[in-house]
Amino acid sequence: MTAKSAFRTVFISDTHLGMTGVRNRTLLSFLETLSCETLYLVGDMIDGWALQRRWQWSATDDAVLMQINRLVGAGTRVVYIPGNHDDMVRRVLDVERFHGVELRMNDTHELADGRRFYVTHGDQFDAVTRNMEWLSRFGHVLYEGYTAIMRQVAKVPGFGWARNMPAQVKSLSKRIFQPQGAFERGLKREAAALDAVGAIAGHIHRPALNTKDGFTYANCGDWIESCTALVENNEGRLSLVYWSDEGLTDEKEYVA
Domain ranges of the chain: 5-252
Q: What is the pLDDT of residue 18?
A: 95
CB 45 within 8 A of CB 70: no
Residue 97, C-beta contacts closer than 8 angstroms, at least 6 positions apart: 103
Domain 5-252 sits in CATH at 3.60.21.10
CA 254 – CA 210 distance, rounded (Å) = 5
Give ∠ CA 65-252-64 in degrees, rounded to 5.
5
CB 57 within 8 A of CB 22: no
Q: What is the pLDDT of residue 149?
A: 73
| Of 24, 88, 47, the residue nearest 202 (C-alpha) | 47
Average pLDDT per consecutive 10 residues, the chain (256 residues; last block may be shorter):
75 96 95 97 95 92 97 96 93 79 96 98 83 63 67 68 59 56 93 98 96 97 96 98 96 97
Pairing of strands 97-98, 101-103: antiparallel
CA 178 – CA 255 distance, rounded (Å) = 21
CB atoms within 10 A of CB 180: 9
Q: What is the pLDDT of residue 23?
A: 94
CA 208 – CA 253 distance, rounded (Å) = 9
CB atoms within 10 A of CB 197: 16
The two most distant CA atoms of the chain are separated, in Å, by 52
Q: What is the pLDDT of residue 176?
A: 52
